[in-house]
Structure 1
Amino acid sequence: MLDCLAGTCARLTAPRKYLSQWGWYKLVLPTLASLPLLMVYYINQGSTTVVVPRLLRAWMGGTLNIGVLYYIYMSMLAVFCTNAINIYAGINGLESGQAVVVGASVAVFNMIELGGFQAKSHFFSLCVIIPFTITSLGLFIHNRYPAKAFVGDTFTYFAGMTFAVVAIIGHFSKTVLLFFIPQIFNFLYSVPQLFHFVPCPRHRLPQYNKKLDKLEPSVVEFRDTSVQWQVMAALRLLKYLRLVHLEEGVGEDGKLCRVNNLTLVNLVLVLIGPQHEGSLTTKLLVIQGLCSGLALFIRYPLADLFF
């Protein structure tokens, strides 16, 4: 009887342990949370038609209705937005600060579009994004270095879903991704560790140098035989491009490799050297702001060349 109960408990807890290990709940929960949002979009007769670039219009026409694929895309957008801010984090003020910059960028875009044919949708977005941005600014004041308040996953998921809501209901789901350029780069840069091609520690935060009172890039060590040769070739290419700090042949037996944890925060430290935490946050938020300027350039002058 006891053996039977033990076996039943093992079968019940194993999936939970497996999901926790791989963090699949970070994919499942935002997907489920996006379903009411997609229902609202459907009830309001949201369009599933996309504009075809000029180069392809001779074969595909001016527009293309992709139907249910557009709903899948919007659900994936909600998943990405909720997790993108969460994995681009770890130092005082970065999570709340990037939410302020992205929120302000979305508000600027909405105000530019108020005179267009989607004015009502952009007005709705402004009614949501302005209070969110202002309250996030207040949070940033307390969350910046030295932090008096910590945001945790609760705020990052809430912020990401807020951007997904205004983008989907406001009918600018593709444009909002342009304001996530640093987050997209951070995700792509993190892929080798997120999918465990390279060992991924539980925390990939920069390491604190007490003597210098500065942050330095954190590293992960692994044996060169524990990863596939394609992964090592990719890391060597990134080293050549100065996008990683890779050391090979370290350790007593000369078979260990050491590479910085693959996050944008660590990459900036690799490129510019150790930084004070407050100064590092400021530099990262300046990058976020510059990317928002680039996003508006892509959305208006550049897009006119292709659409």
Structure 2
Amino acid sequence: MFEIIILLILSAVAYFITAELIPNLSDLFIKAGLFGIDLCKTNKKKVPEAIGVVSGCVFLVTSFIFIPIVFGNGLMDTQNFPHNEFAELLAGLLSICCMLLLGFADDVLDLRWRYKLLLPTMASLPLLVVYYVNFNSTTFVVPIPLRQWLGISVNIGFLYYIYMGMLAVFCTNAINILAGINGLEVGQSVVIALSIIIFDIIELRGDQYKAHTFSLHIMIPYLATTLALLKHNWYPSKVFVGDTFCYVSGMTFAVVAILSHFSKTVLLFFLPQIINFLYSVPQLFHIIPCPRHRLPKYSEETDLLHASRTIIVKKDMTFITKLILQVLTMLHLTDKVEDEDCININNMTLINLFLIKLGPTSEVQLTTTLMAFQVFCTCVAFVVRYPMASYFYDS
């Protein structure tokens, strides 16, 4: 408990430092050419970009300062020093640090999408190595209805490491593709971080006390610095967070999911991001034409956002494209306008889906609605994790 109190104090200090640093460093980013224009505003002033590197650096420094506090007693007694726990923390911070560096490089160099898949994979290697050395558990418990065919548990071996590597890739990119309006990237990350912290607190009384304590050591300073960033990124946004923040956030969630052994629960907290990814798959894989930006379309006359759209040329349509369009139309998941030569549909993101269901909406109202949906999905996740889990598992 003493360690958590110290961590809360350090995190509070980190919040105020981050909140002060961001406006003070904004001009430096603009002078360095790291700025963008808010396409959803009539005011076309320069907005500093990649500011997520500031909150990420403060988060890491806070975590580094906390190391001698949490392991102070072990330093005095080297024979009983918890080497495994120390290695886990260092590996987790190393992976996050790698994503901070690679994310900032992406913001500066504007890397192609294939590198966005490769970078998290490389950064997750320290995690996988430490997991192999400390645990090397590649067995998962089979749900009760399937045990008559598969048994109580199944060892999937090397495939488990592929799954963990893919988890890191998904977490980093899932936040990145559900983005584009003020406060959305940071807001959804705050809700996910709070969900993990609540889950950790609930589970502290269980037999995985150390794992959830480790998770709290990571998530509390992350939440503090992210809240400070949200203060400046909320509508009307004074800064853009960039891919740096999305990468750091995704890797932070992957670190606690893998090393604290509750990856399935973390995925439950990513329900909106999973829905957005599945809905976006036809465009991400270019089955349906995908423009470079799928941001909502801003109307200066009404100051409202409308769903952005893409055009499908009928003569270029494949069988798979036609099938997907039929399914989407049947499920009322697209707004389709058709003529003799072309089909005009909304871009396939959760943001645009909300806009075609709710109608033209102000940016702040849209962000608030999406955040409310994130909170609702968190409630669903807790229902699945606790009351419903007893139907599929013994405890």
Global fold match (TM > 0.5): yes
Q: Distance in 2 between matches of 1:221 and 1:56?
A: 44
- 2:231 corresponds in structure 1 to 141
CA deviations on 1:80-138 (whole Å, 9 max, x unpaired) are 00100000000000000000000000101111111111110110001111111121111
1:132 aligns with 2:222: yes
CA drift at 1:21: 9.2
Query: For residues 293 and 46 of structure 1, do their structure 2 counterparts lie closer, same or farther at Cα, with a shift above 3 Å needed?
Result: farther
1:175 deviates by 1.1
1:216 aligns with 2:302: no
| CA offset digits 1:145-183 (Å, max 9, x no partner) | 100111010100110000000110111111100000000
Give the structure 2 partner of residue 42 of structure 1: 132
User: Which protein has greater RCO, CA pairs closer than 8 Å, 6+ apart?
Assistant: 2
Aligned 1:53-68 pairs, distance under 5 A: 53-68=143-158
Instruction: Kindly state the Cα deviation for residue 140 of structure 1 after the two structures are TM-superposed.
Output: 0.9
C-alpha deviation, 1:65, in angstroms: 1.7
Query: Take 2:213 and 2:362, find their aligned partners in 1: how far apart are those partners?
Result: 40
Distance in 2, Cα, partners of 1:292 & 1:46: 30
Give the TM-score, by structure 1 length.
0.90
The DSSP-based 3-state class of the residue aligned with 2:386 is helix
Q: What SS does the aligned partner of 1:222 have?
A: strand
Retained in 2: the 8 A contact 1:101–1:288?
yes
* Deviation at residue 59 of structure 1 after TM alignment: 2.6
Gaps of 5+ in 2: 1-109
For 2:286 and 2:136, locate their aligned partners in 1 and report how far apart those are by CA, in whole Å: 38
What 5-or-longer segments of structure 1 have no aligned partner? 1-19
8 Å CA contact 1:214, 1:275 repeated in 2: yes
Q: Does residue 186 of the first structure (1) align with residue 276 of the second (2)?
A: yes
Asked if the contact 2:306–2:361 (Cα under 8 Å) also holds between the matched residues in 1, the reply is yes
Structure 1 residues 144-153 or 233-242, which shifts more?
233-242
Determine what percentage of the aligned residue pairs are the same residue.
56
Equivalent residue of 2:294, what SS? Answer: coil
Number of residue pairs aligned between Structure 1 and Structure 2: 284
Find out whether 1:112 has 2:198 as its counterpart.
no
User: Superposition pairs for residues 153-232 of structure 1, below 5 Å?
Assistant: 153-232=243-322
Equivalent residues of 1:206, 1:217 under 8 A apart:
yes
1:103 and 1:23 mapped to 2: Cα distance?
Answer: 26
TM-aligned CA distance change 1:243 to 1:105, over 3 Å = same
Structure 2 equivalent of residue 288 of structure 1:
374
Question: 8 Å contact 2:190–2:223 — kept in the other structure?
Answer: yes
Aligned partner of 2:142 in structure 1 is 52
- Distance apart, 1:22 and its partner CA: 6.5
RMSD: 1.3
Amino acid at match of 1:191: V
CA distance in 2, matches of 1:69, 1:114: 30
Aligned-pair distance for 1:47?
2.1
